[in-house]
């Protein structure tokens, strides 16, 4: 029978979960107030923004964000309704669907990104010493490697 986590181990994982939940809620609230979109949708826009032509295959976006195809399809439909993205058939393969930022989507990113970065700095990064930021980056990389096995 596996050993139960120690009290300190429980503090660590519960703290990690709560920190992630509260940061997500904070960023979501800010985006809802400023731009009328949830943080998850902002992640889609950022994923597209980071592509050289601001376009990507739907399957690539889903994999990058660890979204199911149906979750991404629903979110993209909502973003299309708001005029922030557009879908198109892939070149030469009708099974491939590409999604890209519209001019409005690009403008939203340009408005929201500095505010999101400032909020992340204020709520998270500024509270840590530089060596703690380095440790956090190392720790999350190790944790993500194990958690990400199901998405490969």
Range of the domain at 81: 7-116
In angstroms, the CA 143 to CA 12 distance is 13
| Domain assignment of residue 15, yes or no | yes
Burial of residue 84 (CB within 10 Å: 0-12, 13-18, 19+) is buried
Give the per-residue SS3 of the chain.
Answer: CCCCCCHHHHHHHHHHHHHHHHHHHHHHHHHHHHHCCCHHHHHHHHHHHCCCCCEEEHHHHHHHHCCCHHHHHHHHHHHHHCCCEEEEEECCEEEEEEEEECHHHHHHHHHHHHHHHHHHHHHCHHHCCHHHHHHHHHHHHHHHHHHHHHHC
| Domain assignment of residue 148, yes or no | no
| Domain assignment of residue 57, yes or no | yes
21-76 pLDDT, tens digit per residue, is 999 999 999 999 999 999 999 999 999 999 989 999 999 999 999 999 999 999 99
Contact 96, 57 (CB under 8 A): yes
| Domain assignment of residue 136, yes or no | no
| Domain assignment of residue 133, yes or no | no
Taking the complete model, does pTM exceed 0.85, yes or no? yes
Query: What pLDDT shows up at residue 42?
Result: 96
| Domain assignment of residue 69, yes or no | yes
Query: What pLDDT shows up at residue 2?
Result: 67
In angstroms, the CA 85 to CA 98 distance is 10
CATH code for the domain of 73: 1.10.10.10
Query: Rounded to whole angstroms, what are the CA distances from 64 to 71, 91, 134?
Result: 13, 21, 23
Q: What is the tally of structural domains in the chain?
A: 1
At residue 148 the predicted structure's pLDDT band, cuts being 50, 70 and 90, is confident
| Domain assignment of residue 131, yes or no | no
| Domain assignment of residue 29, yes or no | yes
- φ/ψ (deg, to 5) at 94: -70, -15
């Amino acid at each position: 029978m596996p050993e139960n986590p120690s009290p300190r181990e429980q503090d660590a994982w519960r703290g990690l979960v709560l920190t992630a939940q509260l940061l997500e809620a904070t960023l979501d609230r800010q985006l809802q107030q400023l731009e009328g979109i949830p943080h998850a949708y902002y992640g889609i826009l950022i994923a597209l923004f980071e592509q050289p032509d601001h376009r990507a295959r739907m399957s690539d976006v889903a994999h990058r964000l660890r979204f199911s195809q149906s979750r991404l399809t629903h979110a993209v439909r909502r973003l299309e309704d708001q005029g922030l993205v557009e879908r198109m058939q892939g070149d030469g393969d009708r099974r491939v669907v590409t999604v890209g930022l519209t001019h409005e989507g690009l403008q939203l990113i340009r408005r929201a990104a500095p505010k999101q970065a400032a909020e992340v700095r204020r709520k998270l990064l500024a509270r840590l010493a530089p060596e703690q930021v380095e440790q956090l980056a190392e720790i999350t990389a190790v944790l993500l490697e194990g958690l990400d096995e199901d998405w490969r």
